[in-house]
Structure 1
Amino acid sequence: MSNNYQALFANSFDTFKVFDNLTLSEISITPTNSPKTIWQILNHIIMWQNYQYTQLKNIQQHIELDEEATWIDDQNPSDQHELNNALVTFRNQHQQLAEKISAFDSNDLYINQKLKLVQDLSVHLSFHVGEVILMRRMVGTYPLPHQMKEFLN
């Protein structure tokens, strides 16, 4: 018996368009004292989501991840093409996750572990999306709260 778990997590991977149409000039502006750049955060999210997706596919085996290794040293992409490629990878991961979640079966012996992984993915993404929103707002490249409704349409 399959359930529609995709509906359960329908907005869990919402990025509030924080990465949509991101340009090289926007990504290279980093607020003073930021511990990481948007580029580093984006790459960290991609590596983390890849790890979590691999865990979902291989739920019976625990795979270790060195979180420190998911943070790259490069503070900015070399060009717009590199940034665009990372954004495509990021979006493709979300599509793969949606497909994987839609195939969840409530009779699966590992369903609780899978649901926990999806919850962890959602929380992790939410944390970093919040960071990027704040960073972009601080430098004036993302709408303020009162501008969000129009921006999200």
Structure 2
Amino acid sequence: MSESNRAFGQALVKSLVGERGHLPIARALPDITVELAGKRMEGAPYTIYQLLKHMSYWQNFLLTYLDGGKPQLPSSVEESWPSEGEPESEDEWQLVIKQFLQGIDKAISYSESMQLDETLTHFPTETKAGILRNIASHNSYHLGEIVLLRRLFGAWPPPGGGYPA
């Protein structure tokens, strides 16, 4: 692996984890209760639960390309948003968080091990780096919405503080 590939991979890792620009994503989620995850804010189109499920949907969709697969494109972006506004239980909510963070770990592993300028078999106009950058930017965008909802609900900062480490 070239030095430039390694350096870019490390930049992607920082973006995937959340560094300098915002709180590390793993610190913004674990203390969210099942009640807070499903709480509705007047005027907000979705709950924290719906945001994280949507983030997971697209993260898994894009990781499928990096796994060598070809994900099924939804007929509408609405399919990537859950209709239910809250998790059924604390166990379900914890599983949603765990699976999302496992996807981040997988993306980090790919950032550190793949030849990032290679194109994808099932998406030849995109590189592996482009997919990883898309995951990082999409997650960062929606993490900002989660943080905003937490602030509006008076559930901020998380334990350990609300600013980048």
* TM-score with structure 1 setting the length: 0.83
What does residue 123 of structure 2 align with?
Answer: none
Answering whether residue 86 of structure 2 is matched by residue 44 of structure 1, we say no
| Compared CA separation, residues 109 and 133, structure 1 to 2 (3 A) | closer
Answering whether residue 91 of structure 2 is matched by residue 88 of structure 1, we say no
| Compared CA separation, residues 76 and 91, structure 1 to 2 (3 A) | same
* Count of aligned residue pairs for this structure pair: 147
Letter in structure 2 aligned against 1:115: A
What does residue 10 of structure 1 align with?
Answer: 13
| Equivalence map 1:18-97=2 (5 Å) | 18-58=28-68, 64-66=73-75, 67-97=77-107
Name the SS of the counterpart of 1:10 in structure 2. Answer: helix
| Structure 2 unaligned blocks of 5 or more | 19-24, 121-125
* TM-score with structure 2 setting the length: 0.78
Letter in structure 1 aligned against 2:29: F
Determine if contact 1:51/1:65 at 8 Å carries over to the other structure.
no
Determine if contact 1:40/1:71 at 8 Å carries over to the other structure.
yes
Which of 114, 126, 143 is 2:128 aligned to? 114
Q: CA deviation at 1:63?
A: 5.4
Letter in structure 1 aligned against 2:12: F
Cα deviations by residue, 1:12-65 (Å, 9 ceiling, x for unpaired)? 122262212221122232221110111111111111100010112227x68534
Distance 1:62 1:138 in 2: 36
Determine if contact 2:51/2:142 at 8 Å carries over to the other structure.
yes
What does residue 98 of structure 1 align with?
Answer: 108
Query: How many percent of aligned residue pairs carry the same amino acid?
Result: 22
Distance 1:51 1:135 in 2: 25
| Structure 1 unaligned blocks of 5 or more | none
The structure 1 segments of at least 4 consecutive aligned residues displaced by more than 6 Å after TM superposition are: none
Moved more, 5-14 or 89-98: 5-14
Determine if contact 2:118/2:128 at 8 Å carries over to the other structure.
no
Structure number with the bigger relative contact order (C-alpha 8 A, sep ≥ 6) is 1
